[in-house]
């Protein structure tokens, strides 16, 4: 059994937004520009279809503004996270729960440990 603690949608979207803004502050645009120049990458290369790279590539090509690149990256990441959770909920051996209650989390951890005894 695998357990995944889910957070509510608003909190998850906020964390994704913060993470994207941190990526920008830490230099994703410079990183991407370096990779494009070093490896002669174009928009059709597979690596340029990654969430974040795709949107900031458009920014570097003056197709969209920085704020649009950030917003599109946030939206794409939110959509991807939603697809991941949908896929995970379909898996029978994965238990997904929303909880901020530490006692509930501890109880779930104990339950998992008891059920995963290896002989």
Average pLDDT rounded to a whole number, residues 57-83: 98
Please report the domains of the chain, with CATH numbers, ordered by start residue. 2-115 (1.10.287.890)
Residue partners of 96: CB distance under 8 A and separation at least 6: 3, 4, 5, 6, 85, 88, 89
- Taking CA atoms, 22 is separated from 3, 62, 96, in Å, by 28, 22, 27
Helix (H) / strand (E) element for 19: namely helix 9-25
Q: Is the confidence at residue 110, as pLDDT, over 90? A: no
Dihedral through CA 71, CA 73, CA 74, CA 78, nearest 10? 140
Residue 118 has what DSSP assignment?
-
Q: Is the confidence at residue 4, as pLDDT, over 80? A: no
Q: Is the confidence at residue 54, as pLDDT, over 80? A: yes
Q: Is the confidence at residue 108, as pLDDT, over 90? A: no
Confidence of residue 87 (pLDDT cuts 50, 70, 90): confident
Phi, psi torsion values for 100, nearest 5 degrees: -110, 5
Given a contact cutoff of 8 angstroms between Cβ atoms, the answer to whether 116 and 2 are in contact is: no
């Amino acid at each position: 059994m695998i357990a995944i603690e889910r957070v509510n949608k608003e909190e998850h979207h906020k964390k994704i937004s913060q993470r994207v803004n941190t990526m920008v502050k830490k230099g994703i645009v410079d990183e991407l520009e370096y990779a494009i120049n070093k490896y002669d990458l174009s928009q059709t290369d597979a690596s340029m279809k990654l969430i974040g790279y795709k949107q900031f590539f458009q920014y570097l090509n003056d197709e969209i503004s920085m704020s649009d690149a950030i917003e599109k990256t946030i939206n794409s990441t939110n959509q991807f996270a939603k697809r991941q959770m949908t896929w995970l909920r379909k898996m029978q051996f994965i238990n997904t729960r929303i909880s901020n209650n530490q006692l509930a989390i501890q109880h779930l951890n104990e339950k998992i440990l008891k059920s995963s005894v290896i002989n």
